[in-house]
Amino acid sequence: MTKLGIVNGTPENHDLKLEQIEADLYGLTYTGLWGCKAWCYVAVGPDAAVFCQPLREKNGSVGTSITNIWDAKFILAVGALGPIGPRPLYECYFDDSRAPDISRVTYHRGDPRGDVTWKFTGQSFAQIVGRSEPDFRNLEWGQKAAERCRRFNAEQDNYAKGGK
């Protein structure tokens, strides 16, 4: 098992893996805080990419929410992934019971409010991506990704506690 370089709980390398699920829909696994694995969907439209993740464990929430790892390095890393490129970035929780909250994620170097800001758009998934929102809860890729991440995180936790 490879140990990750961790600085203040944040991975030095987010270890991104992007897999195509269907046309313009991808699954992304990444290393979050304290070296745990997590995942999300990335819907890519002509002018934007929306990172969609579960909020609830029953729907596959594991590891670090992508909300907690947006920084300059992460934004540059996902922007370097071919299908995503230099598009504006958005995020949402696909199982949030409140009204859909799709937020624009923007990096502003040296901004007094913080380098990364989130702004609720009031737009629907279809308005941003140009297609209807898939039934994320029932896509097989996310179910399998959640299980892989849970296994990895349990092994990391066991390793950290001195197990093998």
Residue 110: domain span:
6-153
DSSP string covering 93-146, please? ETT-SSS---EEEEE-TT-TT-SEEEEE----HHHHHSSPPP-GGG-HHHHHHH
- Domain tally for the chain? 1
Residue 127 lies in a domain: yes
Pairing of strands 89-93, 103-107: antiparallel
Q: How far apart are CA 27 and CA 146, in angstroms?
A: 11
Residue 55 lies in a domain: yes
Residue 42 lies in a domain: yes
pLDDT band at 7 (very low <50, low <70, confident <90, very high): very low
Q: Is the pLDDT of residue 4 over 60?
A: no
Report the mean per-residue pLDDT for the chain.
Answer: 83
Q: Taking the model in full, what pTM does it have? A: 0.84
User: What is the per-residue pLDDT across 23-76, written as a single tens digit (0 to 9) for each?
Assistant: 999 999 998 877 788 999 999 999 999 999 998 888 888 877 888 888 888 888
Q: Is the pLDDT of residue 163 over 80?
A: no
Residue 158 lies in a domain: no
Residue 142 lies in a domain: yes
Residue 1 lies in a domain: no
Check residue 63 and give its pLDDT: 74
Residue 159 lies in a domain: no
Residue 143 lies in a domain: yes
User: What is the per-residue pLDDT across 76-102, written as a single tens digit (0 to 9) for each?
Assistant: 889 889 999 999 999 999 888 765 689
